[in-house]
């Protein structure tokens, strides 16, 4: 018998960024973060996990057709946690097949460029963890799975939920209170849209993991960001979402993106994620908002030059139209928000 389960997980784009670890092994952050989950129709990772007593050799993972190294500590931490939960079930119910002892075969594909700063590790680890949890019939809650996915990649814990998602940094040394939670479902603000502009699909220069470790070690601005700036913004952002206050949502989003990239520039050696096209996108949003007399569009950038622009459906013509006119040569997606996760065992 070959046991098999498939799932998909969405991409999330932070509006309050995670940048800095207080524990690099458990992936525990120095600040809380908040993200928006995008629709899986446009951006997602699809993953199938299978196992069998007839499989031999080590666990394997294929991503977009290429074999990946699974010996790294992060993937191993996820496999170990999931196998541990399955082994508990098998001990409690000895008639269950001993799936925890079988080699895993994982096949994963993204419908967007990997490592282009498009949060592929987030949807990737979220899908990996949920596919194996489904295979093992764990019936764990998204919160419980978020703890495991976080060890694969911090931002992955937020991709276990739809809509608006917070990752509370927590204070426990073992990470037991460093969890993702839903702030609001996508249906709370159905007019929200995201425009993803692929400025460059090339692999990013400095990985998030390396970049944030260097920032924590060298940046003088970093402490203010983690201790003062972000805690205040988390509360303001939750209020802006609760009240569907787009102007406040947009201003906080843009300021937090800029604060994060300022901290990157303040790192030694400096880290540059934005390029001239990214800066053109920032200017375009500033022009659109100045002409509207309030913020009707918000830009944000992760660890790469690609822009994500948030706006409301009623301003789609203005915002997406202006981008088409001025930066129409760029590839990308205009997408809605993702409400819930797709795909159970099958
Ligand atoms: C800029 O989650 O990729 O996208 O935990 O080391 O895997 P690791 O980092 P990762 O960092 C994401 C950084 C960010 C901001 C964010 O998504 O919050």
ipTM given for this complex: 0.99
Quick check: pTM over 0.80?
yes
pLDDT tens, position by position, 81-113: 999 999 999 999 999 999 999 999 999 999 876
pLDDT at 117: 55
pLDDT in tens, 261-305: 999 999 999 999 999 999 999 999 999 999 999 999 999 999 999
Name the packing angle between helices 73-92 and 120-135 (round to 10°): 20
Average pLDDT over all residues of the chain: 93
* DSSP one-letter string for 45-112: EEEEEEE-TT--SS-EEEETTEEE---SHHHHHHHHHHHHHHHHHHHH-TTS--GGGSPEEEEEEESS
Q: Report the residue among 128, 155, 157 best suited for mutation to probe ligand 1: largest number of ligand atoms under 8 A from its CB.
A: 155
pLDDT tens-digit map of 141-197: 999 999 999 999 999 999 999 999 999 999 999 999 999 999 999 999 999 999 999
Percent of the chain with pLDDT over 90: 85
Q: Best substitution site from 28, 34, 154 to test ligand 1's pocket, by max atoms within 8 Å of Cβ? A: 154
Atom of ligand 1 nearest to the CA of 212: 6
Q: What is the pLDDT of residues 10-32, one digit of tens each?
A: 999 999 999 999 999 999 999 99
Nearest CA to ligand 1 atom 3: 208
Atom of ligand 1 nearest to the CA of 154: 5
SS3 per residue for 165-218: EEECCCCCCCCCCCCEEEEECHHHCCCEEEEEEECCCCCCCCCHHHHHHHHHHH
Q: pLDDT tens digit string along 42-55?
A: 789 999 999 999 99
Give backbone dihedrals phi and psi of 177, rounded to 5 degrees, phi first: -110, 15
CA of 163 to the centre of ligand 1 (A): 18
- Beta pairing partners, 33: 167
CA of 41 to the centre of ligand 1 (A): 22
Other CB atoms within 10 Å distance of the CB of residue 314: 11
């Amino acid at each position: 018998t070959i046991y098999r389960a498939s799932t998909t997980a969405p991409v999330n784009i932070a509006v309050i960024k995670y940048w800095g670890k207080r524990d690099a092994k458990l992936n525990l952050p120095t600040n809380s973060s908040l993200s928006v989950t995008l629709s899986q129709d446009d951006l997602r990772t699809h993953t199938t996990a299978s196992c069998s007593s007839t499989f031999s050799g080590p666990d394997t993972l294929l991503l977009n057709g290429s074999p990946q190294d699974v010996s790294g500590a992060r993937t191993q931490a996820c496999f170990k946690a999931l196998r541990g939960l399955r082994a508990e079930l098998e001990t409690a119910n000895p008639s269950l097949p001993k799936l925890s002892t079988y080699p895993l075969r994982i096949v994963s594909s993204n419908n967007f460029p990997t490592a282009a700063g498009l949060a592929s590790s987030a949807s990737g680890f979220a899908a990996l963890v949920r596919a194996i949890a489904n295979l093992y019939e764990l019936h764990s809650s998204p919160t419980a799975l978020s703890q495991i996915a976080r060890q694969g990649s911090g931002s992955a814990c937020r991709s276990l939920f739809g809509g608006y998602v917070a990752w509370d940094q927590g204070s426990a040394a073992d990470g037991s209170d460093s969890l993702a939670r839903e702030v609001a479902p996508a249906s709370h603000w159905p007019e929200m849209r995201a425009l993803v502009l692929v400025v460059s699909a090339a692999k990013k220069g400095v990985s998030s993991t390396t970049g944030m470790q260097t920032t924590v070690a060298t940046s003088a601005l970093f402490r203010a960001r983690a201790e003062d700036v972000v805690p205040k913004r988390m509360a303001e952002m939750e209020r802006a979402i609760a009240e569907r206050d787009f102007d406040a949502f947009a201003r906080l989003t843009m300021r937090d993106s800029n604060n994060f990239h300022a901290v990157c520039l303040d790192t030694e050696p400096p880290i540059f994620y934005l390029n001239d096209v990214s800066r053109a996108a920032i200017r375009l949003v500033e022009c659109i908002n100045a002409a509207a007399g309030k913020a009707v569009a918000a830009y944000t950038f992760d660890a790469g030059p690609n822009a994500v622009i948030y706006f409301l459906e009623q301003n789609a013509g203005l915002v997406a139209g202006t981008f088409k006119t001025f930066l129409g040569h760029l590839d990308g997606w205009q997408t809605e928000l993702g409400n819930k996760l797709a795909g159970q065992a099958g």
